[in-house]
Structure 1
Amino acid sequence: MIESKYDWQIEQAQPDAITSLAKQAGVDGFIAQLLLQRGIDTPEKANTFLKPSIEAFHDPFLMHDMKKGIARIQQAVEAGEQITVYGDYDADGITSTTIMYEVLTDLGANVNYYIPNRFSEGYGPNAAAYQKIIQGGTTLIVTVDNGVAGHDAIAVANELKCDVIVSDHHSLPEVLPDAYAVIHPRLKSATGASYPFGDLCGAGVAFKIATALLDEVPTDLLDLAAIGTVADIVSLRDENRAIVKFGIQAIQNSQRPGLLALIKEAGGQLDQFDEQDIGFAVAPRLNSLGRMKDATVGVELLSTFDEEQAIELAKFANQQNDLRKSLVDQFYKEAVEQVETGSDLNRSTLLVVGDNWHQGVLGIVASRLVEKYQRPTLVLTSQDGTDDVKGSGRSIDQFDLFKAIDPIRDQLVAFGGHHSAVGLTVKKPNVSLLSDQLEKAAEQQQLDLSAKPKIEVAAKVGIDQLNSDLVGQLKTLAPFGQDNPKPIFDVSYDQVQSVKTMGKGADHLKFTLAKGNTSLVAVAFGKGALAAQIHPGATDLEVIGEIGENTWNNRTTLQLMVDDLKQPAAPVVDRRTRVLHEQMFRQAGTYVFFHERNLTQLKPYFADNCRAVMYDQLTRQTFQDQNLFVVDCPDVVADLADVLHRTHPKTTTLYLYKKQLVSKMGMPDRHSYAKLFRFVKENPNINIATQLKRLSKHLHIAERTIIFMIQVFLELDFITINDRVVNLNPHYQAHDLKSAPSFHLRQEQMKAEQQLLASSTRELIDFVKDCLDS
């Protein structure tokens, strides 16, 4: 049985609505269905969504304080004032800093930029940093991707006669800072009007300021705006959709040496570049700069026109990303060990404390733990020479992590964040207080860990419906991201084929779904452990995932990127095998043997939740497990039938292992018996230990067959054996060969092999069901 990770939500639009929109918008019915699921229910909305244009960009002067802020910037440019762009250390902050720096440079401004250090200065306006900047001659600070909560630092700037223009997109505080201007897409103007689209990221707001300064859309900055937009996981609707759509085109034709070098380092291809390449290749490398050390390098990388410097900086960014990944893997492994060996699994929340872990990757480790355990998680680290424990937290949809910790804010050194993510510093003695508070909040918020996270499934499709034309139509819905997810499909098929694992540690799963002459390769990352439960020929595995393309050796094929799968507990599972391995003895249940030598050899490999017994020791009273595993093949079919009748398991898994088949050797004919008998009669004192090979060659009978016939003769008193020396019994009596126990056993073994090993899966399953019903 395979439990689904998610609660699958399949929303079906009304057929009439699909037909109507498809006809009016001139799109395929399948695309119309997906549009309706996204709330796009008119041909006008469909046309705007599918074909974004420059008209999608709103007037930047509709944004709060834009006119005032632009006037101040223009004044500073004309007067030659020193302007400092104050940015942030993530990908959105780096791109928004680059956008603002480049547009001011193009206007002839006296401009530089400053990105605070994540570890020593933290996020947002820093009073000490502002003082240093102003002492260096700056009279105007323009923030990007930060500042709306920077009251203290902005107050310091005002005292030092330096104006601050805040451009930000983060949550608005109850009271705005006393900045010269606050440019924010969610702020209402003095007349109460709102900017038409409030979901811009920091780079998006910087792009709007650049538009206002230049009095035209700066198409040469769309590449940076697109990277920031995708990296910050903001809504990909409205203006953001146009930014990313046109931004990807700009990246494909980019003249930025740094961006081109970074894409090359990441293994990307410009002609196929899309939003996924931003999210999984470009953005992580930019983010790694700030996570590991200094994000200033990111602005240098994106803005340089020196190709040698670009290549050098791109390599450095890639190295930092590799270092980040290795640290995440290391700390994640240690965190999992800490959770698994402690008592945390009995808790509703997780709190992990490492020793001198790199602070820049703790949020990623927390995210991976949330993914694995589906519960709110804090990952903290102690530091040598200090009593502070710093870290990050991530949460699940049904638990407000910020609200959970806020009641003990005054007992923390530092704390900030929102519903799903927090950052904090706490003194070592208060770690237990923090842990207790999380559990208390879990109870107060009625956190139910049994509730699965929901996942939206677009439609159920057969693999025979999937083709390159359909994938081409799906691409018209791109770019995909927040509020416009890539469609997830419930895929139907006839049977599973070719199940295997991939990756260094067999971490990933790969299998093929087949229907008629059509097949589709499915890849499930991180699900390699499920391979033992999915069997070729299975028909009851349910799979959902995204349809993608895989290009190998210039050949492009469709593949399914699996998001989730589930499989009911099959009453009978056919896993007949000629090879046994340790992983086959890890599932909870009773493992029954028909040959004691096999039980003795395999017993060391059984997990603690497994029980290994001989078939004749198993009774209805002693069988308490629901799952029965039949390890080896019985000599007599009736023995298996009797076990099944006695136990009535909920599930029966049949390995029916047998190293060598007697049916391959067959039953000796009467002529062979006669030849051997005559030879023994004419040649006394045959030593089986030393003369078997010669005897086999002389009689043209296989060695194993000779051993079997000698056993039959011995049981019928035709011969005597003393110290492996065979002689004719001078007093033998005539007997029917079939009366020998070994002869009878071989007949039964051959019947068992025919019925249990040579039968089809359907015939075997029907046999087991008949035994259970009797």
Structure 2
Amino acid sequence: MIESKYDWQLNQISNQDTVTELAKSVGIDEFVARILVQRGIDSPAKAETFLKPSTENFHDPYLMHDMKKGVDRIQQAVEKGEHITVYGDYDADGITSTTIMYEVLIDLGATVDYYIPNRFTEGYGPNVAAYQKIIANGTTLIITVDNGVAGNEAIAAANQLNCDVVVSDHHSLPEVLPDAYAIIHPRVKDADGHTYPFGDLCGAGVALKIATALLDELPTDLIDIASIGTVADIVSLTDENRAIVKFGIQAIMNSQRPGLLALIKEAGIQLDRFDEQDIGFAVAPRLNSLGRMKDANVGVELLSTFDEDRAEELAKFANHQNELRKSLVDQFYKQAVDQVTASTSENLSTLVVVGDNWHQGVLGIVASRLVEKYQRPTLVLTTQDGTDEAKGSGRSVPNFDLFAAIDPIRDQLVAFGGHHSAVGLTVNKNVIQKLRDQLEKAAGKQHLDLSIKPTLPIAGQIAVKQITPEFMDKLKALAPFGQDNAKPVFEVNYDQVQNVKTMGKGSDHLKVVLSQENTQLTAVAFGKGNLATQIKPGSNRLKIVGEIGENTWNNRTTLQLMVDDLKQAADPVIDERTRVLHEQMFTDDGTYVFFHESMYTQLRGYFKGDAKAVMYSDLINNDTHDERLFVVDCPDVIDDLTKVLKSCHPKITVLYLYKKQLVSKIGMPDRNSYAKLFRFVKENPNINIATQLKRVSEHLHIAARTIIFMIQVFLELDFITVNDRVVNMNPHYAPHDLKSAPSYRLRQEQLKTEKQLLVTGTHELVDFIKDCLDS
């Protein structure tokens, strides 16, 4: 049985007329219209706006809190030649935000530099020591990007040193806002209680709005960078963000930025097929790795430089850092899994893994992968030489507030911060067990139920033969895909699964082909290689859902299914027919039925525990409802098997159907053979079967086993006598039909049974057994 990881939720449309009308009004495929309606885009006006973003989708930047005040201060600093520092963040959103703000100020002729704090020594956001250092170097205006709204202490220190701070941020608002010169944030209310029309901009999006206000027009030369930050930060891809990414991808495909082009080349991406997934899975991870592994400042230089040699050098460095990051994640993840397996943690509702000298920059990724594997809240900590502290990151599942779980003991921690789904923390080593206990206590308090599967919305069901390049082109109208506009997940219907294979260095991944009529679709499931042995080629029992994508190899593009989830109920009938029996075949719990006493006697010593061996006659008419029934040997009469199946009602039937020698290979003697043997016995009295069988066989040109069988038939019909293996004619025999002999009838039944159970193919056999079970 293959259990699904998710609870599949097939989206249903209550009003098909809305779909039909929308498709007709906008001129789109009904399948696409159905997905739009599922996502609340149910009118022609909404659909036009969604499908064809334009510059009109961009709101007036001055609707954002403190935009005018902040822009006036920046312009003043530019005009007076003040030293401005852009204070960023070390992730991809922070790097792109910094690049946007730095470049627009350079274009305005400002005296400007940028500063990105070090993840390991300074941490996230405004830092008092960093601010003091920046101001000591002559800065009179700090502009934060992608941070600052919670930087009360550092901003207060800057104010005391007569340095203004303009905050631009998008993160959650604290109870008390900092005393900054201006706070440009889409969710901060203005004096009238209004907020910006779209609150889901990322840091790069807010920076783009400031750039738009400074230039008094949309800076199209910066929208490529803004799109990278928007996808990387996993913000809602609706409204302005959708337009930013849509236009940004087009800009990247025509980019003249040496650093971005070099980075794309290092990632092995085809520029003419560039899309949002290339940002999410190739560009953003390489930018993120800079801050995770060492220093993110080079990320801004990479994106903004026009020196091609330097761009290539930095792109190679970013790629190297990303490879190093992946290597460390794999290494620490494996150690973490080994640690969980070796402990009793698998029985807990939460996980706390502690490594030794693990790189701090990848702990969040390791935690995410452990949550993916174990589906439970996870903290990953690492100790460091020379300190009594452990630092780490945590990730959670949707139905558990990780921040709230730890918050009650925050006074016992060295440092702690985060939100519902992710936290960062530093603890003394002697508090780690207390942390474990607190998480388990919170799991009970929050009623964490690990049996509840996360939901997976399914856009609809689609047949393999419907998945064509034309259909893919229609689907692309919904792109760019991301948060709040996920790539549609389909349940794919097919006739047969074929070519079941594993792939990857450790056979970690699964690859199958789904076929229907004359159409085939390759499906790839990452991390599911262990399921390959459970999937029967030729079967259609596997249910499979995923996203339809394109795979380009050697300049040839084919469609494929990227599998999100799959499930397969245990097959009620399993064909394990064999010509060899061994002890390991009798170790599973269940009922093992025999049809021949000799075999039952020979093998019953193998059975232990809840595995039991029985003769078929003990099961008939017993009405048992067995969980698993193993049919060990092949019956002589097929009706014996059908009676057993109807009496047992097994949920799973495993068919070994062992038979040492097939009767069908010997066959049924023809009438001529019977006549030849009859005449021979009549003309040659006193035939000793023990000593003369070989000579008789050679003389008659009939196999010895066939002669033995015919002698048995003759004996049952009283045609002959046999005394001490000496055969003679019965002088008083009477004519009888050969078919009336029990051995003859048994041979007929055996041939019929072998044809039905042993000679037939798997499909026919399984169908026959299912019919027996259902009748």
Secondary structure class of the residue paired with 1:230: helix
* Structure 2: distance between partners of 1:360 and 1:598: 63
Q: Which residue of 1 aligns with 2:480?
A: 479
How far apart are 1:204 and its partner, in Å? Answer: 0.7
Displacement, 1:112? Answer: 1.4
Which residue of structure 2 aligns with residue 7 of structure 1? 7
CA distance in 2, matches of 1:532, 1:218: 55
Q: Which moved more, 1:150-159 or 1:464-473?
A: 464-473
- Cα distance per residue 1:62-100 (max 9 Å; x no partner): 211111111222222222222111111111111111111
- 1:201 deviates by 0.3
Instruction: After TM superposition, give the deviation of residue 554 of structure 1 in Å.
Output: 3.6
Cα pair distance change 1:255/1:580, threshold 3 Å: farther
State the alpha-carbon separation in 2 of the partners of residues 305 and 618 from structure 1. 86
Where 2:376 maps in the other structure, the secondary structure is coil
More moved, 581-590 vs 203-212: 581-590
1:487-506 deviation line (CA, Å, top 9, x unaligned): 11222233333333222322
CA contact (8 A) 1:585 1:610 kept: no
Partner of 2:24: 23
- Bigger Cα displacement from structure 2, 117-126 vs 457-466: 457-466
Q: Go from structure 1 to structure 2 and tell me whether the alpha carbon gap of 1:449 and 1:641 turns closer, same or farther (over 3 Å shift).
A: same
CA distance change for structure 1 residues 646 and 44 in 2, over 3 Å: closer, same or farther? closer
Q: Is the 8 A contact 1:11 1:457 kept in 2?
A: no
Contact 1:663 1:750 in 2 (8 A): yes
Structure 1 residues 510 and 664: CA distance shift in structure 2, 3 A: farther
758-767 vs 192-201, which deviates more?
A: 758-767
Aligned match of 1:758: 759
Gap change, CA 1:509 and 1:665, over 3 Å in 2: farther
**Conserved? CA contact 1:711–1:742, under 8 Å:** no
Tell me whether 587-596 or 46-55 shows the greater mean CA deviation.
587-596
The amino acid of 2:186's aligned partner reads P
Per-residue Cα deviation, 1:600-626 (whole angstroms, up to 9, x for no partner): 99x99x9x9995969789979999972
Map 1:32-181; keep pairs closer than 5 Å.
32-181=33-182
Amino acid of the residue matched to residue 263 of structure 1?
I
Distance change >3 Å, CA 229–CA 707, structure 1 → 2 = farther
In structure 1, what residue type is equivalent to 2:4? S
* 662-671 vs 412-421, greater mean Cα deviation: 662-671
Return the letter of the residue paired with 1:537. G
Letter in 2 for 1:220: D
Q: Secondary structure at the match of 1:220?
A: coil
In the TM superposition, residue 219 of structure 1 has moved relative to its aligned partner by 0.9
- Mapping 1:449-460, distance limit 5 Å: 449-460=450-461
1:190 shift after superposition: 2.3
CA distance in 2, matches of 1:337, 1:157: 48
Matched, 1:195 2:211: no
Distance 2:300 2:384 in 1: 30
Matches within 5 A, 1:630-669: 630=631, 644=645, 647-654=648-655, 663=664
Shift of 1:482: 0.5
Q: Kindly tell me: are residues 520 and 391 of structure 1, through their superposed partners in 2, closer, same or farther at Cα, counting changes over 3 Å?
A: same
- The CA deviation at 1:251 is 0.7
Given the alignment of the two structures, is residue 380 of structure 1 paired with residue 381 of structure 2, yes or no? yes
Given that residues 13 and 36 in structure 1 are in contact (C-alpha distance below 8 angstroms), is that contact kept between their aligned partners in structure 2? no
Kept in 1, the 8 Å contact 2:600–2:613? The answer is no
Structure 2 match to 1:221: 222
Cα 1:106/1:624, change in 2 over 3 Å? same
Letter in 2 for 1:393: G
Aligned equivalents of 2:51, 2:548: Cα separation in 1: 19
How does 1:454-473 map onto structure 2 within 5 Å? 454-473=455-474
Shift of 1:42: 1.8
Call closer, same or farther: CA 1:769–1:200 in 2, change over 3 Å: closer
Question: How many Å separate the matches in 2 of 1:599 and 1:176?
Answer: 84
CA distance in 1, matches of 2:443, 2:178: 34
Within 2, Cα distance between the matches of 1:158 and 1:579? 85
Q: Residues 659 and 181 of structure 1: is their aligned pair in 2 closer, same or farther, counting only changes over 3 Å?
A: farther
The letter of the residue matching 2:6 is Y
Tell me the number of residue pairs that the alignment of Structure 1 and Structure 2 aligns.
750
Select the structure of larger CA radius of gyration.
Answer: 2
Written as runs of structure 1 = structure 2, the 5 A alignment for 1:428-443 is 428-443=429-444
Distance in 2, matches of 1:631 and 1:407, equals 60
- In the alignment, the residues of structure 1 paired with residue 328 and residue 82 of structure 2 have an alpha-carbon distance, to the nearest angstrom, of 43
- On the 8 A contact 1:84/1:113 being kept in 2, the answer is yes
Contact 2:358 2:383 in 1 (8 A): yes
CA distance 1:667–1:713, change in 2 (3 Å): closer
Tell me the residue number matched to 1:416.
Answer: 417
Contact 1:593 1:599 survives alignment (8 Å): no
Give the root-mean-square deviation of aligned CA atoms: 4.3
Instruction: Determine the C-alpha separation between the residues in 1 that align with 2:438 and 2:665.
Output: 68
**Contact 1:618–1:643 (CA under 8 A) maintained in structure 2:** no
**Could you say which residue in structure 2 is the equivalent of 1:691?**
none
Give the partner amino acid of 1:188.
K
Q: Secondary structure at the match of 1:247?
A: helix
TM-score w.r.t. the length of structure 2 is 0.85
Shift of 1:174: 1.1
What's 1:279 paired with?
280
Change (3 A) 1:252 1:346: same
Does the 8 A contact of 2:587 with 2:611 survive in 1? no
Matches within 5 A, 1:249-288: 249-288=250-289
TM-aligned CA deviation for residue 514 of structure 1: 2.9
* Structure 1 residue 665 displacement after superposition: 7.6
**What amino acid is the match of 2:501?**
K
Q: Distance in 2 between matches of 1:183 and 1:599?
A: 85
Partner of residue 541, structure 1: 542
Which residue in the other structure is 2:447 paired with? Answer: 446
The whole-number CA distance in structure 1 between the counterparts of 2:583 and 2:375 is 29
Counterpart of 2:684 in structure 1 is none
Give identity over the alignment, percent: 71
- SS class of match (2:120): coil
Indicate the larger mover: 447-456 or 653-662.
653-662
- Separation of aligned partners in 1, 2:617 and 2:351: 44
- For normalisation by structure 1, the TM-score amounts to 0.85
Aligned twin of 1:721: none
Partners in 2 of 1:127 and 1:263 — Cα distance? 37
> Cα distance, 1:236 vs. partner?
0.4
Which letter does structure 2 place at the counterpart of 1:757? L
Whether 2:532 is the aligned partner of 1:531: answer: yes
Instruction: Tell me the CA shift for residue 48 of structure 1.
Output: 0.9
Superposition deviation, residue 711 in structure 1: 10
| Residue of structure 2 equivalent to 1:511 | 512
In structure 2, how many angstroms separate the alpha carbons of the residues matched to 1:637 and 1:74?
Answer: 93
Q: Is the 8 A contact 2:224 2:252 kept in 1?
A: yes
Shift in alpha-carbon separation, 1:529–1:710, aligned structure 2, 3 A: farther
Specify whether residues 8 and 114 from structure 1 end up closer, same or farther in structure 2 by C-alpha distance, changes over 3 A only. Answer: same
Q: Are residue 300 (structure 1) and residue 314 (structure 2) matched?
A: no
Question: What SS does the aligned partner of 1:314 have?
Answer: helix
- For residues 475 and 402 of structure 1, do their structure 2 counterparts lie closer, same or farther at Cα, with a shift above 3 Å needed? same
Structure 2, gaps ≥5 residues long:
681-686, 714-723, 731-737
- How far off its partner does 1:138 sit? 1.7
Distance 1:582 1:273 in 2: 57
Q: CA deviation at 1:121?
A: 1.0
Matches within 5 A, 1:205-354: 205-354=206-355
Partner SS for 1:545: strand
Q: What is aligned with 1:204? A: 205
Offset of 1:769 from its aligned partner? 4.2
Letter in 2 for 1:7: D
More displaced 10-residue stretch of structure 1: 170-179 or 53-62: 53-62
Q: Secondary structure at the match of 2:222?
A: helix
Deviation at 1:598, TM superposition (A): 14
Does the 8 Å contact 1:12/1:459 carry over to 2? no
Q: 1:752 to 1:531 in 2, by over 3 A?
A: farther
Deviates more, 1:169-178 or 1:353-362: 353-362
- Kept after mapping to 2: 8 A contact 1:591/1:610: no
Q: Is the 8 A contact 2:84 2:113 kept in 1?
A: yes
The AA in structure 1 aligned to 2:429 is K
- Once the two structures are superposed, residues 391-427 of structure 1 have per-residue CA deviations (whole angstroms, 9 ceiling, x without a partner) of 1111111111111111111111111111111111111
Distance 1:586 1:62 in 2: 72
Q: For the structure 1 residues 530 and 746, does the alpha-carbon distance in structure 2 shift closer, same or farther, using more than 3 Å as the test?
A: farther
Quote the Cα distance in structure 2 between the aligned partners of 1:586 and 1:333. 31
Pick closer, same or farther for the CA change 1:64–1:710 going to 2, 3 Å. same
**CA offset at residue 580 of structure 1?**
11
